Amino acid sequence: MTEAFDPGEALGMIEDEESRVRRALAVNLPVQLLAWGVAWLVGFLALWLDVRAHSTYTPPGTLSSLVFFALLLVAGVVTAIATTRATRGVGGRTARTGARLGLGWGVGYGGFVLVAGGVAVYGTPEAASVMMTAGAVLIAGLMYLLSGAVWDDPLLVRLGVGIIAVGGVASWTGPVWAPLVAGVAGGGGLLVAAGLAARRRRA
């Protein structure tokens, strides 16, 4: 770097290297949001198609529930791969923050399963179904909002607020229509956020 040294070239190299490293270390948010958006859209639609086929309310059957949870599992695996690929070897504050947020998702849904179980035991099947759909959406919205606050990401904050609103509206549409609202508005919202995140990542 001493002979025929060009400071402009060196600065360019620093900037290129900086953006390459930042990209390598950044979790691929568009891919994660896309996986969850597809899972919500298709999964909730499967549940809705199942429950709307009955004249009196009947909870979703085995097949539609299997489709729903299989899609969630795939999205979970995509998230895990995208996260470990980007953050491998990164330690310190960012790693601790990420682990705590991950704990929030796990513990949040763990607690929610207990609450929904209690409602299923003491409430009507309709109430339990509304609780399952709207509550699950609400928790995801809160976690997105929290992630946006922690990572200082306005896109995630807006997504979180929108998903919380979807959960609130879905609960008032009742046990049959709630999955449709969650799938179209919630899954659709995630897909829009995935598109915005992809555009931002390319910029």
Nearer to other proteins, 87 or 173 (CB): 87
Nearer to other proteins, 92 or 110 (CB): 92
Question: C-beta of 97: minimal distance to other proteins in Å?
Answer: 9
Question: C-beta of 19: minimal distance to other proteins in Å?
Answer: 9
Nearer to other proteins, 10 or 80 (CB): 10
Question: C-beta of 150: minimal distance to other proteins in Å?
Answer: 12
- What does the binding site for other proteins look like in residue numbers (CB under 8 A)? 1, 7-8, 10-11, 13-14, 17-18, 21-22, 24-25, 88-95
Question: C-beta of 23: minimal distance to other proteins in Å?
Answer: 10
Block residue for tokens 């709630």: 178
Which residues are CB-contacts of 184 (< 8 A; sequence separation ≥ 6)?
41, 44, 45
Separation between Cα atoms, residue 203 and residue 188, nearest integer Å: 23
Separation between Cα atoms, residue 160 and residue 151, nearest integer Å: 13
Distance from CA of residue 193 to its chain's centroid? 10
Nearer to other proteins, 94 or 124 (CB): 94
Separation between Cα atoms, residue 192 and residue 200, nearest integer Å: 12
Between the CA of residue 197 and those of 7, 37, 88, 126, 154, what are the distances in Å? 34, 13, 22, 36, 11
Question: C-beta of 96: minimal distance to other proteins in Å?
Answer: 9
- Contact call for residues 116 and 135 (beta carbons, < 8 A): yes
Nearer to other proteins, 88 or 202 (CB): 88
